[in-house]
Amino acid sequence: MLDDATKVDLVGAVRYTKLATDTVVRIASVPVIVFPGGATSAEGSDSWVDAVVGARALYPDSGSLVLLGYSDVGGSDLTCELIGGVNWNFSKGCTAIFGYR
């Protein structure tokens, strides 16, 4: 059971992914006739958008620390993300965030 200070948010979003590559292969033992200049290259890119759903939880302790957690799952053959951390409110209006993704 959650107390009044604990906050849980449900998240619905989209995740944009872009991949790009530019590759050059230099082959020293192949005759120059096969690969002019002794090299071949390839390049390409692709991008897409997937739906993502998840949740975020904030649990304040009695002092200046707030424990946080975030998790989501989405498309492109099932992507997921998990984040855990601590917010430290060391003065009014100033917060440091420590976490691991």
Q: What is the pLDDT of residues 64-83, one digit of tens each?
A: 899 999 999 998 888 899 99
The answer to whether residues 55 and 73 touch, using CB atoms and an 8 Å cutoff, is no
Identify whether 95 is part of a domain: yes
Is there a domain that residue 18 lies in?
yes
Residue 2 resides in a domain: no
pLDDT of residue 58: 93
Total domain count, the chain: 1
- For residue 25, is it within any domain? yes
Residue 37 is predicted with a pLDDT of: 65
Q: What is the pLDDT of residue 36?
A: 64
Q: What is the pTM of this model?
A: 0.64
Q: Would you say residue 79 lies in a domain? A: yes
From CA 85, how far away is CA 35, in angstroms rounded?
52
Q: Give pLDDT, residue 29.
A: 67
Q: Please state the separation of Cα 46 from the chain's center in Å.
A: 18
Domain extent at residue 35:
7-100
> Residues in the chain with pLDDT < 70?
1-4, 29-38
Distance, CA of 39 to CA of 57 (rounded, Å): 53
In order of 13, 28, 54, 60, 82, the CA distances from 9 in angstroms are 13, 58, 9, 15, 15
